[in-house]
Structure 1
Amino acid sequence: MSRVSIIIPTLNEASCLGRTLRQLTLLDPPAWEVLVVDGGSEDETVVTAKRNFKLFSPATEVQVRSCAKRGRSVQMNYGASLATGEILCFLHADTLVPDDLVAVIEETLADKTVACGGFISVMAGAQRTHWGISLVNYLKTYCFPLLFKPQLFFQGLRLLVGDQVMFCRRSDFWECGGFDEALPIMEDGDLCLRLLPKGQIRMVNRIVQSSDRRVARWGTLKAIAIYVYIGILWGIGVDANYLKQFYQDIR
């Protein structure tokens, strides 16, 4: 059985981190370790992490670390540098995972032709489930690589994003250079491209639940337009620094 290290980058995530961590205490089999890498939160994120760490069994090593530099890519790379598991799993603080997460990850990467995997992300909140946006996000995993990078699509490229809980082997992650810390957005799609020589990028037929806070702020139609627009621009090679203006942080 492989050891799975779960890395959670945080920045002012006190409102949702506790629920995510409590869900991780239910994993069967348990994760090898859970690392919360904070980027300088000004709320109770760190306190929330430490309080919920008490709920984990001794089988899972848990720790919260502060990253000297803020940024999701930077924080995830820092967490990966601390991780001791053979497999790295990158989890957003507002995403809930199935109880058999570790088993699904191990089964997927047992196939040596697979370099990286992720789940189907269903976007939901307290009031509703956003099936339309969830469908759009599902389709773009396949459609954007097929439309804009067809030669790579048929080699196994899929466009995974952070909400889909990406995972890969630690050795492959570092051999391809980890996340590009210069990218303010689409660092996940960039990682998929660089991992492809190691094997296929696969979306497994299981779901995770992601927060709808962006949709709640933007509205459904605007959210769909932004997601599609960013995906198209990524596909044609537009600079990530330009794309960032359409995808501001929302807490």
Structure 2
Amino acid sequence: MDNKISVIIPTYNEGDHIANLISEIKRHSVGLDCEIIVADGGSIDETAESVLTTTATLVRSSQKGRGAQLNAGAEKATGNILFFLHADSQPPERFLYDVLEAVKSGHNAGCFRLKFDSNHWFLKVNAWFTRFNVNAVRFGDQGLFVTRELFDQTGGYRNDYILLEDQEMVIRLKKFGARFKVLKKSMTTSARKYLENGVISLQLNFFIIWWNYYLGKSQAELVKIYKKRILDTKIQEEDATPKEALAKP
């Protein structure tokens, strides 16, 4: 069976670099059957215009939030392998070839390791742990590949999730019997948020949010904690208004 890969990127005000990311993905996918889908959550900058200058497909999600946007992109995708990629991540060389090889070897879901575009010692230690196949160190910045068959079985991402949607998805994939693989190459992500908020302080705040999630706090409560502790203009409390979940954990 031929394998077509659909790369799905959720965006919100990413106009300054989304075209460059699309160009990089195309460079890494020469020789593969690949489509790029950008699922925008209502950007008020030039994101949509930038995407329309490329060969990528623009999908305008009816809801803002990564879970809903990723589902909107997946609904439009025609590939039998889905790869979900954050807009501020930089994939390694020939990354889609690694994904394809993993799927052909029997793995129906997985991700890359993580590294930051900073030499800060704490971030290096943080990223080192992502080589292990442990749910607690699964982050969206690592990218996520999953076969269309398995994705459809799970029901997709949670539409009502604003935070920790990627970790929840990985946990649910494994509940559905995913043969999950952490690939050896690393996805590079921006350290900007860490540097703006303080590296160790931000990691502590992420842990507090993660702990409250596992205590059963709602998305609205988690977003409220997030906004109180972390400088971020892309997530607002109104984004966490109650929504119907596509799937139950």
TM range (shorter): 0.7 to 0.9
Of 125, 139, 143, which residue of structure 2 is paired with 1:135? 125
For residues 95-135 of structure 1, the C-alpha deviation after alignment (integer angstroms, 9 at most, x for no partner) is 111231111101122232x33211112121xxx43442243
Count of aligned pairs between the two proteins:
227
Distance 2:219 2:150 in 1: 23
Match of 2:148 in 1: 170
Match of 1:48 in 2: 50
Match of 1:68 in 2: 62
In structure 2, do the counterparts of structure 1 residues 171 and 130 end up closer, same or farther at CA, with 3 Å as the change threshold?
A: farther
Distance 2:33 2:124 in 1: 27
Name the SS of the counterpart of 1:14 in structure 2.
coil
1:82 matched to 2:76? The reply is yes
Match of 2:187 in 1: 208
Distance 2:162 2:217 in 1: 13
In structure 2, do the counterparts of structure 1 residues 19 and 247 end up closer, same or farther at CA, with 3 Å as the change threshold?
A: farther
Match of 2:109 in 1: 116
Residue type at the aligned position of 1:163: D
TM-score normalised according to structure 1 size: 0.81
Identity of aligned residues (%): 26
Distance 1:111 1:240 in 2: 37
Match of 1:98 in 2: 92
Q: Quick check: 1:18–1:49 contact (8 Å CA) kept in 2?
A: yes
Deviation at 1:232, TM superposition (A): 3.7
Of 156, 168, 172, which residue of structure 2 is paired with 1:194? 172
Of 208, 224, 230, which residue of structure 1 is paired with 2:209? 230
Match of 2:39 in 1: 37
Listed as ranges, the matches of 1:234-249 within 5 Å are 234-248=213-227, 249=232
Q: Quick check: 2:38–2:57 contact (8 Å CA) kept in 1?
A: yes
Unaligned runs of 5+ in 2: 235-249
TM-score normalised according to structure 2 size: 0.81
Deviation at 1:215, TM superposition (A): 1.1
Distance 2:159 2:196 in 1: 27
| Aligned-residue RMSD, C-alpha | 2.3
Residue type at the aligned position of 1:209: T
Residue type at the aligned position of 2:126: V
